[in-house]
Amino acid sequence: MALQNSSMKRLFSTAFQVRFYSAPAERSIPAAKQKYVPTSGTYPKGFLAGSSHAGVKPSNTKCDDVALVVSEEPCPAAGVFTRNAFKAAPVTFCQKLLHSNDEKVRGVVANAGCANAVTGPIGRQHAVDMARATDECFDKTAEGRTLVMSTGVIGQKLPIDRIKEAVPKAHAALGSTHQHWMNAARAICTTDTFPKLMSRKFTLPSHPDVEYSIAGMTKGAGMIHPNMGTLLGIICTDVKIESKSMHRYLSAAANRSFNSISIDGDTSTNDTVAFLANGAAAPSDAAPLTLSSQGQYGDPDSKAFMHVLTDFMTDLAQLVVRDGEGATKFVTIRVKSARSAYTARRAASSIATSPLVKTALYGKDANWGRILCAIGYAPGIIRNPGLGLRAEGPPEEKKSNGPPKTHAQVSMQSTSVSFVPSDGSEELKLLTLGEPAEVDEVRAKEVLEMEDVEIVVKLDDDPSQNSRHMHEAVYWTCDFSHEYVTINGDYRT
């Protein structure tokens, strides 16, 4: 009878495509997610945001799906992009623009509903057309001032005429209020259940009386795994930054934020995070912030801003994980290794992308064996001659004129695993130095009932050598629910 009931439930869910965690109709925000949506904000001087409706997807008859975020004056910009080999037309357009253009950028135009990816020459022309339509709103003679982003279904062509008509409307709707920024953040949503928008005030050591602001919006709920920025993001600040330092700041902050999140292990063709700094709040005599190619700061202000940017981008990236498609849990994975940061990162990434770990978390099952298994097969840790995989050490240990050195990076006898509850109560030990712990299953279920869960893995948990320096890697991910399959089973249609 239980089997029959289970089968009937699955049949009912499939037939009616019941959605418990996906975006509701009319983009209403689920009650559980409303706490992540700001009701006000402080936005950087000299930046404007706006949106309009183009109907990129035929099913979208009234929600805005074209967004503009622009600086009132052209400003330095930088971007980090997907490493997927099949890059979408907007990605290659932006990379070329930022690489070859000595002029400053005016802003970003983005559309939701169609990724303009794998669309051939016509797709590349459509990216150009979107940028040109935006440029002409500011200056009929100027080109090469606008970055382009697209998100949605791969392999379909943009309704470019409708988008070109919508761009001037978005320009006419530009403004500096919280609502203007919120409208733009909503316009880039696809399967997102809530718009992801943040703003923050800060000061710098040399002139603490001057108040600066940083603001950012991002979108993403699926096809997300670190290999750059794993989604679309736009970050703006009114600090003055040296042009050639822009990418250094963005890249360093992205590695510790957007590159440390994963929802499903899939790296999109369209990932782009753009960073703009117009200096509008800086005193006229303030020197631009600098960061050398060796990671050296020009002054205390430059170092202070790095902390501000990294913390801000980390919080923004975590919003993406909290909105993972079908997700019910926000999971922090913290791995410590005495061998290297690379070993810790490889293990953390593998745990974060394991479907079996993620489904166990959804089912509130403290199945630590899946965590250990994911570590053991992690690329760079596993040795598999059949696939040409070696257990590699960090890059600095690789031979310049030969194959990488082979390392035993993990040992069962020195590995420990535990859950750390989000309510501050005592950690739940699952594995200690390779030996299974006596797990209280009732307590384990209580811990996994919480929305926030932390998994701590110590790869070198040797009490006799606690003085050793431990490298740590942190990833943020979510669980896999039935709803993830439902959402992605009919995403295109």
Where in the sequence numbering do the catalytic residues fall? Answer: 230
Q: What secondary structure letter does DSSP report for 29?
A: P
Residue of 441, 448, 442, 439 whose CA lies nearest to 421: 448
* Residue 401 CA, distance from chain mean position: 36
Query: Is 279 within 8 Å of 240 (Cβ atoms)?
Result: yes
Residue type at 322?
A: R
Reported residue count of the chain is 493
For residues 394 and 405, give the distance between their C-alpha atoms in angstroms, rounded to a whole number.
9
What is the β-pairing status of strands 452-458 and 330-337? parallel
Bridge-partner residues for 112, per DSSP? 151
Angle at which helix 160-172 crosses helix 120-138, to 10 degrees, equals: 20
C-alpha pair distances (Å), 211 with each of 98, 122, 198, 206, 309: 29, 45, 17, 12, 15
Query: How far is Cα 138 from Cα 105, in angstroms, rounded to an integer?
Result: 12
Q: How far is C-alpha 449 from the chain's CA centre?
A: 25
Backbone angles phi, psi at 386, to 5 degrees: -60, -30
CA angle, corner 116, sides to 149 and 68, nearest 5?
25
Instruction: Determine the Cα–Cα distance for residues 315 and 319; give it in Å rounded to an integer.
Output: 7
6 to 1, 11, 13, 482: CA distances (angstroms) = 9, 9, 11, 13
